[in-house]
Amino acid sequence: MIKRITVFLLGLLLLIPIHGLAAADSAISVDMHYLVVSPAEDGSTNLMNMVNYTNTTAEEFKGDGTGEAILNVTIPKGAIGFTFLDNKIAQKQVDSGFITTDPIPANQTVVLPYSYRVAKDKEISLTFDYPVQMIQILVPEGMGSIEFKNVTATNQGLFKMDDQNYQGYSVEGIQAQQSFTMVYDKGKQPSPSETQTSNMQGVSATDGNVTKTAPAFHNPGHLRMWSQSPLRSWDPHVFLIVMSAIIIAALSYFAYFRMKAMAEEKRLGADKEESAFKNLMAKQKAILDKILELEEIYGEGNMTEEDYQAKLAAYKQHLVQVKMNLRQFVE
């Protein structure tokens, strides 16, 4: 189980927050903290963490300048079996937890994976050295439930990840040095109302067990894609709203000018038809006038029979053609 959960958490390395950046007065913020809680073989509680620490400034973060520590990470008092899961990151254990010693580049994120155990039936008190946007606590299905104290928690219901179902809880907006307590009971399973995976509206509870479900987690694959994109500094929800507004405006703009162009084409077409009709009517009148003039000339004896018949036939042929063209406007 420990290996399975470790692989699951490593798959979340690049996840980003869904609610934007942390407080502007802190150089370091915890964008997202994933915590998988499960029973260990010796009866203690195993806690596996995957935490994103982001340098929100435009300068390299080198800690507070008072020592070699870059990041200070506190783990619960009395925790045992501490294990750091990334040998590429320099870290040292201290009395309160551990520290990292590698500077964090400007506007970059470092992901710290680590685990520890807490004695059986002992309350788990969590304290954070930096502001935390969101912590998502996951309990494998059938392995118990969690009650929260001194914090508002939201039950995310059941969701599936890597062929394993998890009961999810989330806590948002945790301040630096703020503490809250979790009570993990591996023998107490969530009630049916807590394990639903429907799209019910979420209701959070304070100082107690969470009793109603919230919308399911964001798809981790989508979050990973977002974290790898150049737009990762945006709040995804705000970006979605902005892009939707732009798309709607673009479609409206296109539709307006398309309709305007069609109306103009229709008007020009009507003008062309009217012009062509008037032109044909004028030709018809001119041919009829020519035929009358031809008859007058012939009647006065100023034209031979042969010339008269030849010109009359030509005028009539032309008149027939004009009338055929006029028919398309009147039929």
Residue 313 in this model has a pLDDT that exceeds 90: no
Residues 41-64 have pLDDT tens digits of 888 999 999 888 988 888 999 988
- Res. 94 pLDDT band, cuts 50 70 90: very high
User: How far, in Å, CA of 51 to CA of 30, rounded?
Assistant: 7
Give the Å distances, CA to CA, from 131 to 26, 153, 213, 277, 286: 8, 16, 25, 79, 92
Mean pLDDT over all residues of the chain? 78
Cβ atoms < 10 Å from Cβ of 172:
17
Q: What's the average model confidence in pLDDT over 118-125?
A: 89
Work out the angle at residue 36's Cα, subtended by the Cα atoms of residues 33 and 41, and round it to the nearest 5 degrees.
Answer: 150
Residues 229-267 have pLDDT tens digits of 666 666 677 778 888 888 888 888 888 888 888 887 777
Q: Is 144 within 8 Å of 45 (Cβ atoms)?
A: no
Per CATH, the number for 2-219 is: 2.60.40
User: How far, in Å, CA of 232 to CA of 220, rounded?
Assistant: 14
Q: Is 22 within 8 Å of 57 (Cβ atoms)?
A: no
Question: Within 13 A of 2's CA, how many CA atoms are on the CB side?
Answer: 16
Q: How far apart are the first and last CA of the chain?
A: 84
| Number of residues that this document lists for the chain | 331
**Residue 167 neighbours by CB under 8 Å, 6+ apart:** 138, 139, 140, 141, 145, 155, 157, 158, 190, 194, 195
**Residue 164 neighbours by CB under 8 Å, 6+ apart:** 4, 8, 140, 141
Which helix (H) or strand (E) element contains residue 208?
none
Every domain of the chain and the residues it spans:
2-219, 246-330
